[in-house]
Structure 1
């Protein structure tokens, strides 16, 4: 809430004629000074000997391309903690200061505020400063419009009115939406941007879900959302999720064709905003709220940013040098359309690379498979370890303001916050200049004329003001006439789009006019006509026919993608006629994302009428056929029998293989098939096509008759049987608990063949007789087999007791247990078992004080000299052994956790904090999942999927599907899957080798101090 004592203090600040800043306070007429505005003194919580360079020193460490100038526009104490910026219609810069941000979370301290800055001389220095309001908390974003300022400050999206534009709030904030999570820490709701469609767009991170709605909305009617892009209509008060996924989107902008692009961290950095999309969540390991979104959308970028260089996703090798990349943590997005900078920057997407202390630049390319972000030379590089760019915006002069949070840490650093620093830089092509503007006082005619301006800033602000005037009931007929004439007379698609968006903003065209645009020669115009047609609650049958015709004739990949996206707004039962023509041509575009978008719209149709879906298999791609079969299998009842009816009626082997594969992929409970369906499977096991035979084997092992099982048992012990076939057989036999399976597994243990899949199968069985067989064979196993054996021995409490017996008897060394396997034993919550484990292996969960002490001790040991005297070969081996099961580095390892190659590896404190104290900050979708089955098995890992019938858990080594009827309990713990005590089993030399490998090729940085 805003403090009752409101104020507006205008100051002339930082006239930088050298090293001295002159401060002159001028009290404007009619305003009363308020002591609260600048009396608050923020407290730094970092060590006292750590501080940033002075503003004048810091600016000297910034490098930009030739021809550009950087001006220190403002700095502390005039601005501190600048978390977001925007411009008003007079070209003044509004800044959100977030003092409540406290490292990885927000406090409730009501000191956040909004400032207004202005450059009155045109020299680039923001010499006039107004405190618009203070007393806020949790402030993360702001945007101007409709007679006030909109703010994201969880739990609210609020509007602070200033109808007369006198820079004094007219009253307390008006809450438009509530329910935003207060526990999301640095993954909070953030950022506000006006879209070309007249909606207000925002972002939300992954750590905690929110349940959002208008104040007073019942819980069951609220929108539940996690990592996503959302939008809110300022006039109609509608709220919806646009697309979900990634991990923590903290950047969004729209190109000149109105296509949105978002930036994020950890996962790939750039994503094309497609309404209705479900994006990958941390390498597809996150839990999606829709259990039937079987595959998630991939990123737009064709490269990754690494600390040691650019990473090409095709060749999977590092390339380039330190002029590229910088790290995988990104913030904000600005597509430059300011019209002043050289043409090479027109349409370039720029983003802050937090770990790399730089501004990355991607060029957006549209081809037949969609948009791609192609890496260009980094635009800005800062040789300042405290540089943390957060927001970028171009203004009416065509130049850019860039904020610097100025701290030596960010979301994962928990050593405090430096609240008394913050800078704003002006980046200009040539010398700065002042462009006087006041669009609120412009006529409707002038605002329409601005739709052809070379600077997109004028276009967007003028369009929003036209929308405001239309909403206020003004007569917009002349603006309507001018915009239609502009559309007709222009042969430039960008101008045509601007006319369309402005007409939509003032609500001056009907459905029939939009239908005519569906045959426009330009694909972007056709796409936007389609989107705007479906903005309405109801669509006529004649319009649906026009859309079907578009789907049949249009060869544009972008239009096909838009069609698939837009069908999610059409009622179920009416989507097939449009989706089928798109699906029939989807293979042509070689776009996995198009296949996924088709499925998101198609899935409700399959659930509504499975028989109709099976009758259309000839018209869809292989992957969609598999998803159709999987979805039908996961339906309640015996609808799955329709799949086997279809298998009997088709002669196409590829359709047979896809249907069986989809059936096998289902996470549903084991099905009881009719004798006719079993006969169909037994026939397909002998099918002449190898692909059909392979998937039929897995199906037959799960649901086939006794004769089939005997054939499989013979096949399992045939030395010529391949690993994939054996895995299918074992999976199916375990699933149906085949009699005699334990004897089969013992034979595999002693044969030396297929030992790892046999051990994985054994872990799912409550079979004490297998324990001794594994213990007897343990000395003869190789490293991979020994690790799988320990997994088996820690899967159940009786097995774990036998394992500890073996360690006491010194037949298995304590070091054979990894930290995660030790935690698996602790998950049984057996006091005696845990005591024995800690005596034999060591402590599993140190206290917070112990963690801090350990971090400090290792910081003293891992000096620069020590890290230079290491064995990198040994470090690489240790990484593969202790980290590679979950993390990838330099292209090696798994992707359950984030790719470490682009992380802040140059900071020893950052690495130690996250290795020693991994559970200090964990997204909800990546917390440790612990499942206890009815037969006593414990499975720990990441919750990778949840369906109507069961859970999918991703462990460090395998994916486990657990039906609901086999689960006794399920908990999501507030700790990371990454275990505590990772360094405890290692010697000092091994820790040095491991960290030397982790920090290899990274620029080693230490906090600067003064």
Structure 2
């Protein structure tokens, strides 16, 4: 998002107001319908870098009908805003309950400021070419846009009148208003009266958007003239506007000439100030990515001088994904400083979860060079050595773990790296780490890596003294393997662990992991009984307004933390497996009841639980967040950071229909 704030609920439709009926303060604001608030909100768009930042504006309109659901907006010829009202009681449901009640509302100013310019309310199709050309200077974008479309249509069958072309050209050259100049530029291009020479002259224009649109129009067919390409290369290095650089980056994605693409991207990559821009680094990557594997040497040379860390890091990831690891390592050895670090970070990220790797031929001498290059390079080299299965690296990580003066982050990384490789050295000291508060949580998670019920027994001995958060970590860890699941089932059977400590989604997972024995101990695992309506009636009574007023909100937060936070977020706290509940329709009782009592009735595809079984007998239950040919990244219950699984280790994968 570009917003500097959050509206905390879903929106439908957005339109920038570019007309004259509303007061001047609304000119250029973005209007959007807020679905859950039954409202129209506005944001002010502030230019920032290559784009804009959305700043909170007025809550423009609040409907007096809880079934009013704004879903699309247009600005009309009179300057009013026209809003499509979905008009349905079930605004988040799977089905449209009321298919015949949709309507369109016109939101008009009581005292309209709309100018009565010539032909404002005429049928534009009846106007002459000159009259349509003059529409490019009116304050209503609706008229300017539709007039341009009509002129473009006419230009397909005949020449546009000379006086109309002249009027548009004069507006392009004479006005100081950039919006009007852009309208002229677009119109001349649409009617094919803008020559490449005219567009190239626009490269010298003082307005960034005029320069930028000249680039875009010249690249419309992907084959700009050679003189223009030479100028693009110079502009990539020299133009001081991030807007122009954004349009250059977009143009590269259309161009066919590979050497020119490289030259433009090289210039764009030297603007260190674009590092924090919300568009440019990623746009540059979209243009660069198809080139990386086709010319490995050039990619590595590019990465070694690039001033945008994201590009350097992504080049390494892309080369590693293409199995160009040895070439990449040689490029890393040749790089230096911050660029060398970014290449190492990219390689490390690309290999995450791939624990079947062997050291590449060049690794030994590259590692020696990295160890001498600096602390950060040495740290990353150690992590990569461990990733490649180096016993010396494993021992070094064990030493890091034993040293309690080492930072928590370093010790956490050591646990995760060693657990991924299932190193016996870590297994031998995990029990002692259960009693180390700074890394206890990560040690508990590491239990899932080992097929050893002695670990789960030791964990269960300490269960009563764990914090609520660590108890949930322990339950989650023991639900991933039959070995640990059997120990947890035994503890539930004897009463050493109360059933209330096991969330419903973990119980369903344990039924799969342990089998019938768990069902014998736990009982039937059904969401609700057969008489669903009786439950709805019961809880409607329990949650009457008077009862809710007497409720203890702080205790409700504790219930959320224990029951819901392993999957959902509320006001920034919790996990990202399920939808963020902050902006949900929580003020509506029926919405709350349907989601609490029948949570599996409607599940969006993005939130369907995936069950992944690996070849070592471990089950992961979570929501995929990223996937490529080699890796699957998932959010699993109770963890804020995703886990990465190598696809070569996946034995089976299925999607659950249950929440």
Question: What is the TM-score normalised by the length of structure 2?
Answer: 0.91
Give the aligned length: 648
The answer as to 2:549 corresponding to 1:549 is no
Larger RCO, structure (CA 8 Å, separation 6 or more) = 1
The verdict on how the C-alpha distance between 1:432 and 1:527 changes in structure 2, with shifts beyond 3 A counting, is closer
**Equivalence for 1:659:** 343
The answer as to 2:91 corresponding to 1:410 is yes
**Equivalence for 1:363:** 44
Shift of 1:640: 1.4
Contact 1:580 1:620 in 2 (8 A): no
Shift of 1:967: 0.5
Shift of 1:675: 5.8
The verdict on how the C-alpha distance between 1:936 and 1:845 changes in structure 2, with shifts beyond 3 A counting, is farther
Contact 1:682 1:704 in 2 (8 A): no
1:843 to 504, 525, 547: 525
Contact 1:403 1:425 in 2 (8 A): no
3-state DSSP of counterpart to 1:901: coil
Contact 1:534 1:566 in 2 (8 A): yes
Provide the C-alpha distance between the structure 1 equivalents of 2:96 and 2:301, rounded to a whole number of angstroms: 61
**Equivalence for 1:723:** 408
Shift of 1:877: 1.4
Q: How does 1:383-422 map to 2 (within 5 A)?
A: 383-412=64-93, 416-417=97-98, 419-420=100-101, 422=103
Contact 1:697 1:729 in 2 (8 A): no
Shift of 1:867: 0.5
Per-residue CA deviations over 1:818-870 (Å, capped at 9, x if unaligned) read: 12211222344x6514522541xx524447x5545433431221010110111
Contact 2:576 2:635 in 1 (8 A): no
**Equivalence for 1:505:** 190
1:621 to 301, 308, 317: 308
Shift of 1:522: 0.8
The answer as to 2:647 corresponding to 1:960 is no
Task: Report the RMSD for the aligned CA atoms in angstroms.
Answer: 2.7
Contact 2:80 2:106 in 1 (8 A): no
Provide the C-alpha distance between the structure 2 equivalents of 1:413 and 1:706, rounded to a whole number of angstroms: 54
Per-residue CA deviations over 1:403-435 (Å, capped at 9, x if unaligned) read: 433333313376933734646344134279996
Provide the C-alpha distance between the structure 1 equivalents of 2:545 and 2:569, rounded to a whole number of angstroms: 24
**Equivalence for 1:774:** 459
Q: How does 1:244-255 map to 2 (within 5 A)?
A: none
Contact 1:413 1:913 in 2 (8 A): no
**Equivalence for 2:589:** 908
The answer as to 2:256 corresponding to 1:603 is no
**Equivalence for 1:447:** 132
3-state DSSP of counterpart to 2:269: helix
Contact 2:389 2:421 in 1 (8 A): no
The verdict on how the C-alpha distance between 1:799 and 1:455 changes in structure 2, with shifts beyond 3 A counting, is same
The verdict on how the C-alpha distance between 1:934 and 1:339 changes in structure 2, with shifts beyond 3 A counting, is same
The verdict on how the C-alpha distance between 1:564 and 1:765 changes in structure 2, with shifts beyond 3 A counting, is farther
Contact 2:333 2:369 in 1 (8 A): no
Per-residue CA deviations over 1:138-194 (Å, capped at 9, x if unaligned) read: xxxxxxxxxxxxxxxxxxxxxxxxxxxxxxxxxxxxxxxxxxxxxxxxxxxxxxxxx
The verdict on how the C-alpha distance between 1:582 and 1:906 changes in structure 2, with shifts beyond 3 A counting, is same
Provide the C-alpha distance between the structure 1 equivalents of 2:533 and 2:522, rounded to a whole number of angstroms: 21
**Equivalence for 1:972:** 655
The verdict on how the C-alpha distance between 1:607 and 1:973 changes in structure 2, with shifts beyond 3 A counting, is farther
Q: Higher strand fraction: Structure 1 or Structure 2? A: 1
Q: Higher helix fraction: Structure 1 or Structure 2? A: 2
3-state DSSP of counterpart to 2:223: coil
Unaligned runs of 5+ in 2: none
Shift of 1:742: 2.0
3-state DSSP of counterpart to 2:279: helix
Per-residue CA deviations over 1:911-948 (Å, capped at 9, x if unaligned) read: 22223333333332322111011121110110111111
The verdict on how the C-alpha distance between 1:385 and 1:772 changes in structure 2, with shifts beyond 3 A counting, is same
Provide the C-alpha distance between the structure 2 equivalents of 1:871 and 1:591, rounded to a whole number of angstroms: 44
Shift of 1:731: 2.6
Shift of 1:590: 3.0
Provide the C-alpha distance between the structure 2 equivalents of 1:482 and 1:760, rounded to a whole number of angstroms: 71
Shift of 1:881: 1.9
Provide the C-alpha distance between the structure 1 equivalents of 2:394 and 2:85, rounded to a whole number of angstroms: 66
The verdict on how the C-alpha distance between 1:585 and 1:367 changes in structure 2, with shifts beyond 3 A counting, is same
Question: What is the TM-score normalised by the length of structure 1?
Answer: 0.61
Contact 2:42 2:58 in 1 (8 A): yes
3-state DSSP of counterpart to 1:584: coil
Contact 1:362 1:376 in 2 (8 A): yes
Per-residue CA deviations over 1:478-499 (Å, capped at 9, x if unaligned) read: 2444432332233322121111
Provide the C-alpha distance between the structure 1 equivalents of 2:112 and 2:406, rounded to a whole number of angstroms: 73
The verdict on how the C-alpha distance between 1:426 and 1:785 changes in structure 2, with shifts beyond 3 A counting, is closer
1:744 to 424, 429, 436: 429
**Equivalence for 2:550:** 869
3-state DSSP of counterpart to 2:176: coil
**Equivalence for 1:329:** 10
Provide the C-alpha distance between the structure 2 equivalents of 1:589 and 1:684, rounded to a whole number of angstroms: 25
3-state DSSP of counterpart to 1:569: coil
**Equivalence for 2:318:** 631
**Equivalence for 1:529:** 214
Contact 1:701 1:733 in 2 (8 A): yes
